[in-house]
Amino acid sequence: MRASLIQIAADPDETANSRRQRAASLVREQRGADLVVLPELWPVGAFAYQSFEDEAETPAGPTYEVMAEAARDAGVWLHAGSIVERDPDGTLYNTSLVISPTGDLAGTYRKIHRFGFDKGEAVMMGAGADLATVALPELTIGLATCYDLRFPELFRGLVDAGAGLFVVPAGWPARRRGHWTLLARARAVENQAYVLACGTAGTHADVEQAGHSIVVDPWGEVLAEAGPDEEILTVDLDAAKVEATREQFPVLKDRRLGVVAPDLLR
Ligand SMILES: NC(=O)CC(=O)C(=O)O
């Protein structure tokens, strides 16, 4: 299974539309990949809070339209990163879109853990309420976004829902890059799953982005890591490695939910 992570820049020198066109042409260049991934809120910039209202769209809006055509042309599954979604009731969400090789919307995920504590996304957006997985031919992918990476219980929930690969689009700041790498590896090791974490490059709203998109295997080994600038990481994954790792070192079978989290069993 070949995956390409497109670490596109978040610099404010482009409009959302020109970013969409540029991202679409990069997706088209990935013909031959099975799965292509874009980062969090790349049409807007993850920290461009002042643009959220103006750039909000529906899951079937301009980002989907442009990226669906690109996915179809390239014949790939496309995790199109996330958009600012406006629900019909007016609430904004940080919503990921997964598009099939035929251009259909195969899944959406509203970011559950909102970043910013008492400002930014945390106060401007609603919190997602549902876990999301999408079954690809080789593996089921579990969806999470950026700050979600700090919440291991979400990833365990995705494993219980069948995930063997987590896709994590992000707009992670450079000043916390150490956490990004550590957390991506931790989520892979503890869940014996692949992690494809795709960040943004450049600087947006004065927040320097970490870049350093990373692919980690189910044993926690880093298969590929980008630098800080725009870059495309292409990696071959062995889908069978998920089950093989879980069989050879079956820690997930030793969970004691009845003791440590009885509420989860209700
Ligand atoms: N931007 C995010 O969603 C998360 C983040 O920056 C972090 O450090 O966590």
pLDDT digits (tens, 9 = 90+) for 56-114: 999 999 999 999 999 999 999 999 999 999 999 999 999 999 999 999 999 999 999 99
Task: Compute how many other C-beta atoms are within 10 angstroms of the C-beta atom of residue 250.
Answer: 10
Instruction: Give the separation between CA 190 and CA 185, rounded to whole angstroms.
Output: 9
- Domain architecture of the chain: domains with CATH: 2-264 (3.60.110.10)
Cα of 114 to ligand 1 centre, how many Å? 9
Cα of 80 to ligand 1 centre, how many Å? 19
Residue with the smallest CA separation from ligand 1 atom 9 is 147
The set of catalytic residues is 40, 111, 146
Q: What is the pLDDT of residues 141-171, one digit of tens each?
A: 999 999 999 999 999 999 999 999 999 999 9
Percentage of the chain surpassing pLDDT 90?
92
Whole-angstrom CA distances from 44 to 47, 52, 81, 133, 264 are 8, 7, 11, 25, 36
Interface ipTM > 0.95: yes
Q: What is the pLDDT of residues 21-70, one digit of tens each?
A: 999 999 999 999 999 999 999 999 888 899 999 999 999 999 999 999 99
Q: Quick check: CB of 171 below 6 Å from ligand 1?
A: yes
**Residue in 215, 257, 265, 221 with CA at minimum distance from that of residue 236:** 215
Task: State the closest ligand 1 atom to the C-alpha of 115, by its place in the atom list counted from 1.
Answer: 3
Instruction: Give the separation between CA 263 and CA 266, rounded to whole angstroms.
Output: 5
13-17, 71-75, 253-257: which is most confident: 71-75
Percentage of the chain surpassing pLDDT 70?
100
**Band of the pLDDT at 10, cuts 50, 70, 90?**
confident
Residue 2's SS3 state is strand
Mean pLDDT of 200-220: 95
Output the pLDDT for position 262: 86
Q: Kindly tell me the burial class for residue 6, based on how many C-beta atoms sit within 10 Å of its own C-beta (0-12, 13-18, 19 or more).
A: buried
Q: Give alpha helix (H) positions in the chain.
A: 16-28, 52-55, 62-74, 121-124, 152-160, 177-191, 240-248, 257-260
**pLDDT of 205 above 90:** no
- CA 146 vs. chain centroid, Å, equals 7
Q: Quick check: CB of 45 below 6 Å from ligand 1?
A: no
Instruction: Give the separation between CA 190 and CA 112, rounded to whole angstroms.
Output: 20
Q: Quick check: CB of 10 below 6 Å from ligand 1?
A: no
Phi-psi region of 32 (alpha: psi -120 to 50; beta: other; left: phi over 0): left
Quick one: CA dihedral 219, 194, 73, 56, positive or negative?
negative
Output the pLDDT for position 73: 98
Cα of 247 to ligand 1 centre, how many Å? 33
Cα of 263 to ligand 1 centre, how many Å? 28
Output the pLDDT for position 266: 63
Mean pLDDT of 111-124: 96
Q: Angle at the Cα of 225 (from 76 to 137), degrees rounded to 5?
A: 30
- CA 83 vs. chain centroid, Å, equals 11
Query: Given ligand 1 and candidates 47, 147, 148, which is best to mutate, with the most ligand atoms within 8 Å of its CB?
Result: 147
**pLDDT of 183 above 70:** yes
Please, what is the end-to-end C-alpha distance for the chain in angstroms? 37
Please give the backbone phi and psi of residue 129, each rounded to the nearest 5 degrees, phi first. -125, 5
